[in-house]
Chains A and B, each alone.
Chain A
Amino acid sequence: MKFNLFLFFFIFLSKFIMAAEKSADPNLIHKNLRCLVCQGQSISDSNSDFAQTIKLVVKDLIEEGKTEEEIYTFMTDKYGDWIVFKPQFNLQNSLLWILPYIALIFGGFFIFSFLKKRQ
């Protein structure tokens, strides 16, 4: 009985909490692409011709059934890494992604070393 209740509660919760699997969201993708002719704006925020064109390209790619990641790869192949706001995880960017966590762990050890040692 208790187990069933737990199971029911779990399913009930997960139904609320888990976001449903969606097809690629154009607005989100627009926000992650840089408008190359503007100063530090995404194509979602820009009114330039370039932004309008890229928006159309993104729309076509989504209709072709491309996933979010595939669209970013398509863009970087064409325009270079500068266009995506989320740097890809590769050898060149590995330090960027890993160093913050190394700093976090290192800091944790540092604090630990200040603590009272038990005899």
Chain B
Amino acid sequence: MLSNLGNILLFLNVIISLSIIYIANKNLKIIGVIEKNIFKLSLIQSTSIIICFFVLIAAFIVSDFSLIAVYQNSNSLKPLFYKITGTWGNHEGSLLLWVIILSIFSFLFLIYNKNHPKKFRLLTLIIQNILILGFLFFILFNSNPFSPISPVPLEGLGLNPILQDPALAIHPPLLYIGFVGSSIYFSAAIASLISNYSEKSFSFSIKNWVLISWCFQTLGILVGSIWAYYELGWGGFWFWDPVENASLLPWFAMTALFHSLIVFEKRNLFYFWVIILCLITFILSVTGTFLVRSGILNSVHTFATDPTRGIYILIFLSLMIFSSIFLLFKKYKKENYNLNGNSKETFILINNWFMMFYLITVMLGTIYPIFTDALTDNKISVGPPFYNAIIFPVIILFLIFMALGPKAKWIKNRFKNIKTYLLILAGAVSLNLTIIFFFKSYSLLSNFIIISALFLIMSSLRDLAKTFKEKKLDFARIISHTSFGCLVLFIGLNDIFSIEKDYNIKLGETKKFENYSIKLQNLDLKNYKNYQAVVGKLEIRNINSNQFNVLNPEIRIYDNPKTLTYEAAIKTNLLKDYYLTMSNIDRSDYYNIKFQKKPLMVWIWISVIMIVVGGFIRVLSNAKNN
């Protein structure tokens, strides 16, 4: 029953999309306002796709195993919360979420851009609906969440236990708003090219959408990292895994885009560059999906792969890329810039320069192994050491430009306060030396990174103090830039001051290192609804202060599907995290424990949240001004 209802709604959406394209196309040729029916249809489209999604959620809640998607990804014993989140925790359901975001953004873009030319709005709508159709066909022919299975199984296979987690419940929706949200400025960019709408007012139509998708993309990446930190059990939060990279590539493009948009809006420059960035952001988002879903890349995320999906997405992607390039070449007009070397325009270009460098580096590292494998049959790994070696040295320069850029004036700038900057630099250097003096020394490269991060933070804070006096507050930028400096600083300090110890330990045994002792006090077997757990009780004592913490890492045995997972025990406070994982060693009564002390972890998360807060403040102030 639910299967039929879902399929009917999907077909209904195909028809609605086709009618929107048809009516909008007819409306293009008529002078006057946009026809009322288009708004109505667009609203019906969003509503019906949301209802369609609710039907799928209902199927997961009542455990309707007549649907393959439910059978493969759910189980009647699973807690209700994870039954619901399981809806988008799989390939088919998440594609439906894609279409929802495509549709809602399409509708909102239509109603919020009343001041822009009719032709531009209608064309954006048409292109967005072509994208919607593309994904609807993909769902119907290849990845239908409503496909029935017969005979109906009695019980489902269950969701991979490491995905049964609150962070992972919200991770995909956040990331998708970022990924898929970029579709709307892809459509708008194409529409702008076709309708020759290249005035600077074009920037007003897309800038908030870029910022919104950027904010959600950042949050999505953050939640994914936090999940990786406490769930994967190795204590890191970023592994330069191909799938993580796939989420980072559009992020670089978006960041470059909303900086360029400032120049386009103020000085009417860089139109084609803005368009190119709009196009590649969404293209990179789809590429990321292609790489993840096709199983081409080896990664911790490859939980849903199937080569036929890859081929469909590849065709879709090629069509998008070729039509974008074709249109660009057709419409491209040479622009003369003649910028002043010392001006805000140049500084923003420098931001884009670095963003493109990061983008190219990360993209190269992600796809290079595919090429060596295909061409020479030699599989290579490109992991953290590669990215650290290439990216970190360049970050130093980037942070310094990031500190200087925002204060530069348009057209022609003069540095009046070189003395102040030198003072700030001296402050940063001495603060860095203080850290070394009181704690420990670190590599030359780390020194430079810490100093440049401090330089950025201190000069941003100085801007804050100054703007308070002048009452020209630019909170959004200051918060985001300061927080970015903090992010680099805390990641750096965290990396430098982390301690990691690995022991094989027996019940009742104590291990000592530096000024800590660890004792395995107790082991407990516990039964839960859908798993059993061996819970360890370990006491970490600081010998100097005689303070102690008890940590309870777990080894979990899940029933459906049968899997063994290791749950890290984490004690967080403002200064540091204690991080402990425990695993059994076959045929012995020893347990392997890994203890890590990770300073300032919380501040890494807070910094990213503050970066996003800056973004949202800018969205709100833009909305107020327009």
Contacts and interface: CB of A to CB of B under 8 A. Distances in A.
Interface of A: 13, 16-19, 27, 31-32, 34, 39-42, 44-45, 47, 49, 52, 80-87, 92-93, 95-97, 99-101, 103-104, 107-108, 110-111, 114-117
Most chain B beta carbons < 10 A, residue from A83, A87, A99, A101: A87
Given A34-B383, A86-B383, A104-B357, A47 B350 contact: no
Contacts, number: 128
Contact of A115 (B298, B341, B447): B341
Contact of A81 (B239, B381, B442): B381
Given A45-B234, A115-B340, A107 B357 contact: yes
Given A40-B299, A81-B378, A115-B346, 4 more contacts: A100-B364, A111-B346, A114-B338, A115-B341
A89 B349 CA distance: 32
Given A40-B300, A96-B364, A104-B357, A17 B436 contact: yes
Contacts of B386: 85-87, 96
B441 A34 contact: no
A34 B381 contact: yes
A83 B441 contact: no
B383 A42 contact: yes
A54 B12 CA distance: 57
B383 A39 contact: no
Given A81-B379, A82-B381, A92-B376, A45 B236 contact: yes
5 contacts: A41-B300, A85-B386, A100-B357, A104-B357, A117-B338
Contacts of B300: 39-41
B241 interface: yes
Contacts of B365: 96
Interface in B348-381: 349-350, 353, 356-357, 360-361, 364-365, 368, 372, 376, 378-381
Interface string B85-111: 000000000000000000000000000
A100 B390 contact: yes
Interface string B562-591: 000010000000000000000101100000
B32 interface: no
Contacts of A34: 381, 383
Contact of B384 (A85, A92, A96): A85
Contacts of B390: 97, 100-101
A35 to B, nearest CB: 11
A16 B438 CA distance: 11
Interface size class of B (residues with CB under 8 A): 35 or more
B302 interface: yes
B601 to A, nearest CB: 17
B500 interface: yes
A111 B349 CA distance: 7
Contact of A45 (B233, B349, B433): B233
B443 A32 contact: no
A108 B356 CA distance: 11
A45 B241 CA distance: 14
A93 B385 CA distance: 14
Contacts of B528: none
B364 A86 contact: no
A17 B381 contact: no
Given A41-B300, A82-B379, A100-B360, A114 B349 contact: yes
A115 B447 CA distance: 33
Given A39-B299, A40-B239, A87 B381 contact: yes
Contacts of A45: 232-234, 236
B364 A99 contact: yes
Contacts of A82: 379-381
A16 B356 contact: no
Contact of A92 (B233, B239, B298, B378): B378
B112 interface: no
B389 interface: yes
B234 A17 contact: no
A96 to B, nearest CB: 5
A96 B241 CA distance: 16
Contacts of A103: 356-357, 360-361
B361 A100 contact: yes
